[in-house]
Amino acid sequence: MYMKAKKPTILATILLSSSMLVAACGNNDEPEENVPDGTAFEEEQNEKVDESLATDSPETEFGFRFLNLHISTPDNKDAIIAEYYGNSSRSEAVYKNMHAAADAQGDAAYTLLEQVFTDLQITQEMSKEEVIERVTTAFDAADYTNFDLEVEYEDGETKTYTDSKE
């Protein structure tokens, strides 16, 4: 009788142990939270963080950090206004263009200005005439009467370009 009572206990223990083992080794599609240090994923993240901390003034995507443009045409005073503050978020962009019926701020303004700025390619080494030519061409304002542009380039140098045809 002593042996018969021990067999169900042993069988129950083996069955419970087996089911726990199967559950622990089962297919788990979720990523493990306790990933050992030094994995490739973690190293890539650390490199990206280190690169961003290493640069004192990160390059902007357009070659300048700040742009403030006002163009008047014979039809409209302040026909084109474009403002961009690249040191902060996209929400600090403004674009008004009477000829293109554009009046936007924030992300919408940034979206409209992004392609223009990418194609613009102005640098601080360019002459005043070349900068004005590129900007008026990019904004389709060759018949301007007043042109006023202030740009802060990546190195922190600010230049002002003005012209009047009145």
pLDDT tens, N- to C-terminus, the chain (166 residues) = 454 555 556 655 665 555 555 555 555 555 545 544 444 444 444 444 333 333 344 456 788 999 999 999 998 999 999 999 986 544 589 999 988 888 999 989 999 999 899 889 999 999 999 999 999 999 999 999 999 999 999 999 999 999 998 7
134-145 in b/e burial notation, b at 16+ Cβ within 10 A?
bbbebbebeebb
The answer to whether residue 7 sits within a structural domain is no
The per-residue pLDDT for 15 is 54
The answer to whether residue 20 sits within a structural domain is no
The per-residue pLDDT for 51 is 39
Q: What is the CA radius of gyration of the chain?
A: 32
The per-residue pLDDT for 100 is 82
Counting the structural domains of the chain, the total is 1
Strand order in the sheet with 64-72: 102-105, 93-97, 80-85, 64-72, 146-153, 158-164
The answer to whether residue 2 sits within a structural domain is no
The answer to whether residue 131 sits within a structural domain is yes
* 3-state SS class at 156: coil
The answer to whether residue 150 sits within a structural domain is yes
The answer to whether residue 88 sits within a structural domain is yes
The per-residue pLDDT for 84 is 94
The per-residue pLDDT for 5 is 52
The answer to whether residue 1 sits within a structural domain is no
Residue 8 CA, chain-centre distance (Å), reads 66
Q: Which domain holds residue 127?
A: 64-164
Q: What is the pTM of this model?
A: 0.62
Tell me how far apart the alpha carbons of residues 80 and 84 are, in angstroms, rounded to a whole number. 13
The answer to whether residue 97 sits within a structural domain is yes
